[in-house]
Structure 1
Amino acid sequence: MKIAMIGTGYVGLVSGVCFSDFGHEVICVDKDPAKLAKLKAGQVPIYEPGLDDLMAKNVAAGRLTFSDSLATAVDGADAVFIAVGTPARRGDGHADLTYVMAAAKEIAQALTGYAVVVTKSTVPVGTNRLVKQAILDANPQAEFDVASNPEFLREGAAIDDFMRPDRVVVGAETKRAAEVMSAIYRPLYLRDFPIMTTDLESAEMIKYAANAFLATKITFINEIASLCERTGADVKMVSKGMGLDGRIGSKFLHAGPGYGGSCFPKDTQALARMGQEHGVPMQLTDMVIKVNDQIKRRMIDKVFDLCGGSVNGKVITVLGVTFKPNTDDMRDAPSLTIIPALIGNGAKVRVVDPQGRREGEALLPGVTWEEDVYAAVKGADALVLLTEWNEFRALDLNRIAGDMNAAAMADLRNIYNASDAKLAGFEHYMSVGR
């Protein structure tokens, strides 16, 4: 089948590459000349493990191309995917549909025959019907159906999530649209991965409900971690005990500095705004947003306590600034709250992150970027472990403690333990919920 993918951001590029690996002809469209030039040169503009090799394979096979011409891509396409950004709107937190609606209007003018227009972007409930109306308004003669196909890709594991999904959700109004979507996902159907077909509104809601629930799990265990610190309990043991309950599960029960990234912050805000608009306040989601912000600020207090109450004039080495490992994504990362607070209070901050510098240089002015952990900790007054990259899981703590001006560590991902840190020479060690 021929697929047009409008937008080559994280979702669009990963989806386009994976669809081409299914054997479909995929044209990815983007209006950014710099990004398009990189893609045509075989360079992946984001960091996602394995994406560069898979992209090169399908470009070489002739199944995957990149273009700035939406009309060319849509001409003769069986399905046109809208995978543009829906950032939180300034002022009210609602999902900004500007790019989605602009794409819909442009698609309307480019349609040359029947196609399914598929919203891959995360959009509020009711958006697909707005997309349908926008296309009809722009081209009353257009022959098309709309479908909702929300993505559930974890950054750092997106290819595996696409190829071996927990489920594929498709919202469709007509049998014809459902059949096209089934044909697109046929390789997954043949391997018995669940493909759930529902109405448009339910498909749209599933995405927001799933992300809000996962954000709630993270926030819940972080609140429990705060209580564990006061009572002497160990949050890692608590998480394990909870996770062994099949009704709860162990995923997303790891205490830390709060959630961030491209999905949870904006999707929880958008769900809360939807609730307000429909007169059904999302009280639990509102509280999750509030508590997550408080957790980030509590991490700042931890670093202050580690440094004796003041960071003024202190050299602090931070390991990891991306919101999670195996990505270069800095969106709503805890580091964007914590590091500016340290610098604002007089700290000199050194940063080490395997992939964070490309975005981080603009977002974290005033920090010193280092490539090597051991060089970054020399003469430092405190070490803050903020992102659990594999590179930081087996450090030589003895060497680090010996090279620091003051052997003090805030392990905000609970990678190490107090006894090992003490044996290595750390005079002060703080973690989360222990």
Structure 2
Amino acid sequence: MELELTTAKEIVETSQKYNLHAWTVQGSSKPLTMIGGEGIYFWDGEGKRYYDMSSQLVNLNIGYGNSKVIKAIQEQAERLAYSSPSFAIDVRSQLAKMVVELAPDNMGKVFFTLGGSDANENAIKIAKMVTGRYKIFSRYLSYHGSSYGAANLTGEPRRYTCEPGIPGFIKFFDPYVYRSPVPFADEEAASHYYLQQLRDQVIYEGRDAVAAIVVETITGSNGVIIPPKGYLNGIRRICDEFGIMMVCDEVMTGWGRTGEWFAINNFDVKPDIITFAKGITCGYAPIGGVIVSKEIASYFDDRFLNCGLTYSAHPLGCAAGIATIEYYQETGLIAQAKERGVLLGRILEDLKEKHACVGDVRYIGLFSAIELVKNKESKEPLVEFDHDPDKVMSKIIGTLCARGFFTYSHENTIMVAPPLIITEQELESAMAIMDDVLGEVDKSL
């Protein structure tokens, strides 16, 4: 196939003319070109190389150019490129078995989707079908997708365009200890406070009306908010008390990002439903899914499962998923992510100590965020929530990008979540760029 567009300028101009770009004002959109990638790096149309320090959208865990996954997709495309979801095919069956066996041991079956949004859509439907209830709890600082149901599940400003919302979606507050007005003695005290609020809210909403409590196991784009000790265990207890489904959104944290196959494994908790996407194929082909407990799986043995998608369990996605999981296993990449996370944590703590603009750093495995402030003592955020008219954060991200450090920000936090294949030397070199740029932010305070 010979491409008509040969220069970076042509690619950008044509893209601006014909593409609608996500999450941006179209007239001011200036997309970066991407021509190729290898390992943790990609390069633009001018040949400039970038450290990909967000794994694109926290999904490119195995980096660019993985020959094992590429070959699996090629071979599957030649053998069977598509099959209706109603058929049993080898890669579909094998991937389902692998997913369930790697999930917590209470899990029974998986329903495959195309990505995270439709995984969460179907998790909502399943919880409603099983419980016969209609209210769904989720947190204010959450992102669960942008399709209509997933956007109603989402708590942060990306839900606003889908409002007025669907009846039954209820929001509750995150255990955001760094920004809590309450001076907690320890993590357990914080968990007790937030859990008591949640339990009261369930009662006030009607304990027999709540179908599910949905949480990102670790809050992702909204600042890598790691739950305090005992918090997720407490949600499990509340769900058990009132017959509510506990749903963990692992779209961003699943498949090794935190140094475990699933982030929930860090907390010794077993949810009823887990949603996933991103790291199962690392973007090489689209696939996501909903893993349900054995109890939920058996519920549908004699009841109709009212879920379906034309591209559910697409053969190319299944082939990519099998190859990706095998690559994780063959290389010990998930254990390595935990090991590299220790180094990343040390670097982040050093940045927090050194820079006046760094209020907090949060990290687990290779999943982390840097929260920027105007004043460390008052914790005043560098930009207000959902209000950055001077594009302060965009300018910081632009400066990082200009120096070869690619990532993204949300509100007043910067995401740092490199591919799991990153070496210690690469991690230290990339974070040296971050150090320099934060120094410039310090001078602007």
Give TM-score scaled by structure 2 length: 0.33
Give TM-score scaled by structure 1 length: 0.34
Greater relative contact order, per chain length (Cα 8 Å cut-off, separation 6+): 2
Structure with larger Rg: 1
